[in-house]
Amino acid sequence: MDAIERIEISLRAASTNTLSIHFGSHWFLSDGYFNRPDWHSKFLEGVKETIRKSNEDFILQYKLKYSDPVEPPARMIMKTVTFGEMASLFENLKDGPEKKEIAVTFDIQVSILESWLRSISFVRNACAHHYRLWNRKLPIKPIVPVRKNNRFLVNIDDDTNKCRLYGILSCMLYIIKVISPKTKFNQRIKALFAEFPGVNIRYMVFPDNWHEENLWK
């Protein structure tokens, strides 16, 4: 959860800043920036309901001072949306330089980031609701790049690309190293395995030489 929170904050900041600079403070009100009007309509309904119920000081202050537009700017709104909603927003955003600019923040391609966010969203919900996670099959598989320009794991085989925890943890570690180079996430994972040596990490599809990967060193 600590690692995902860091990714969430970075995604929120990159999306809010990039889209507000290019499209203005209330870009989320226009369905012209999204692929699916039906998705945008449901998203906007949820935003309006959240605003109506919110007791956040920054929302209340906006309501007292402004009436047009009724909805607060994106820099406020994006603080109220969930990680899953942000992942869905990015996926539904129309392809263009703005979307690529957000992906560049994490040093990966748009399509790869989309798959990672969907998978991380599931992991986040599993953690939040105390679901079994360590040896389960994930319903959404992240794309683990195999092309030289995007590859960050040396040893990639069929097991690596299975819907298990090793793949998505590696993707998360890649993002965290980009946004926070001094992260100790990899060290904390190793310490956790050392604390519970009886847990077979092969059930998470960790290969025998995983600790030799530069990503995990």
Q: What is the pLDDT of residue 48?
A: 92
Q: Evaluate if residue 161 carries a pLDDT over 70.
A: no
- Mind listing the pLDDT tens digit for each residue in 13-62? 999 999 999 999 999 999 999 999 999 999 999 999 999 999 999 999 99
- What sign results for the dihedral spanned by CA atoms 112, 179, 77, 25? negative
- Mind listing the pLDDT tens digit for each residue in 184-200? 999 999 999 999 999 99
Contact 59, 101 (CB under 8 A): no
Q: Evaluate if residue 146 carries a pLDDT over 70.
A: yes
pTM to 2 decimal places: 0.92
Backbone dihedral angles phi then psi of residue 172, each to the nearest 5 degrees: -65, -45
Q: What is the pLDDT of residue 163?
A: 77
- Mind listing the pLDDT tens digit for each residue in 124-145? 999 999 999 888 888 888 988 8
Q: What is the pLDDT of residue 78?
A: 94
